[in-house]
A = this chain, B = another copy of it.
Amino acid sequence: MSGSTVSGRLVVVGLGPGPAAQLTGEAAAALAAASDLFGYGPYLARLTLRADQTAHASDNREELARAKAALALAAAGRQVAVVSGGDPGVFAMAAAVCEALEAGPEAWRRLDVAVLPGVTAMLAVAARCGAPLGHDFCAISLSDNLKPWPTVERRLGVAAEAGFALALYNPVSRARPWQLGRAFEVLRAVLPPETTVIFGRAAGREDERIAVVSLDEARPGMADMATCVIVGSPATRTVARGALPPLVYTPRSAEPAT
């Protein structure tokens, strides 16, 4: 995705889960090289910008408008970075930029556009607990903004039934109060009540909160907008460690290790 024929550039940058130590070197370099940075306000607020850099903050339901504005500025010759929490390719800005580019003026297709990956929330939460995504798994967004809710239920059901572990993104918001509770109902119909559920909030940050409960005990109120919920498979195991937090992992095989 190099070889631009215009002088502007657009880079979609993954900020990782939050702590600066979980940013990649190339992402840090791209942020430093940008003249203009677009993103959801709280993500931009994590960054320390120089006086010669301009922040363009917008709301978290304005992804497509943000992508269009960023592309227009890059087409005008600016060095633009669009920032995403986690990885920009997972329920984040990379798809919105591609959508806006496809629907936009022909000239946008000649722009130098690059996506720089990052550590997405499910990987950060999983790492704090052991290896709950250690075998086949799915990532599902519970947002029904952009897809019909019956599609979400169907995907949850078939994935759980087939033995995938699940990472649930966008579990709850003011506009989405009941979806997570309904998701747990769907999962309880196909998974044993003792299946492990992890509520991972702000993994690695100062306000981190990780809770490990059973599917039976899982309640929607245990999640907020900053939470990634991981649901184990029936093979997922918990290793008690006395005063230390338990380790949760999904074995690489269907059989326990020997």
Contact = CB atoms under 8 A, between A and B. Distances in A.
Contact of A134 (B94, B136, B245, B253): B94
A14 B21 CA distance: 13
A140 B136 contact: yes
Contacts of A117: 17, 22, 119, 123-124, 126-127
Given A94-B127, A102-B256, A109-B240, 5 more contacts: A89-B133, A98-B237, A99-B252, A155-B164, A158-B158
Interface centre among A63, A124, A133 (most CB of B within 10 A): A133
A15 to B, nearest CB: 11
A175 interface: no
Interface stretch (A23-31, A33-41, A51-59, A185-193): A23-31
Interface residues of A, number: 91
Given A102-B257, A123-B120, A127-B116, A249 B95 contact: yes
Report, nearest first, the 8 A-B pairs whose CB atoms are least far apart: A95-B134, A146-B253, A99-B257, A98-B249, A94-B131, A21-B26, A95-B131, A115-B127
A95 B135 contact: yes
A77 interface: no
A221 interface: no
